[in-house]
Structure 1
């Protein structure tokens, strides 16, 4: 089996199914036709560190707050 058989996008999607959507590794591996070892390897390669996840969540909260503020100010005008 070639090391470059799957695209990075495919691998990231597989990791996202496990990490973001909460599917079990075994289920994702079976559905995609890959080994569980591949999923775990891709997780190490593509998963975001906890600090990055916290920063992204904080930024998303800030964006939501700013959008609410913008809507309120726009309405006041």
Structure 2
């Protein structure tokens, strides 16, 4: 009897996008979605063949790409927090 969960293909693709397009870590996405990192790595390999696989540590190009994604994510979060701060400041007056 197989006890592993079966996920729809659309779910897998969206999970992969969280890592490849939004810049979240595999561990973070797996924990949030209730799946395993092993499954998520397999989905990335299957649904995003353009994405570089696990690279050698110190590979400057993959590190640069990773940092750019992280910067974009942090910038988006900062912008959301700025808007929230303005909203709450206006509500407290």
TM over 0.5: yes
TM-score (norm 2): 0.49
**Regions of 4+ moved over 4 Å:** none
- C-alpha distance in structure 2 between counterparts of 1:19 and 1:49, whole Å: 10
Give the alignment of 1:1-77 within 5 angstroms. Answer: 1-2=3-4, 5-49=6-50
CA-based RMSD of the aligned residues comes to 1.5
Aligned pairs, how many?
Answer: 49
1:2: Cα distance to partner?
4.4
* Unaligned stretches of 5+ residues in structure 1: 51-77
- C-alpha distance in structure 2 between counterparts of 1:48 and 1:38, whole Å: 16
1:21: Cα distance to partner?
0.2
* Unaligned stretches of 5+ residues in structure 2: 52-93
SS at match of 2:35: coil
TM-score (norm 1): 0.58
Structure with more of its chain in helix, by fraction: 1
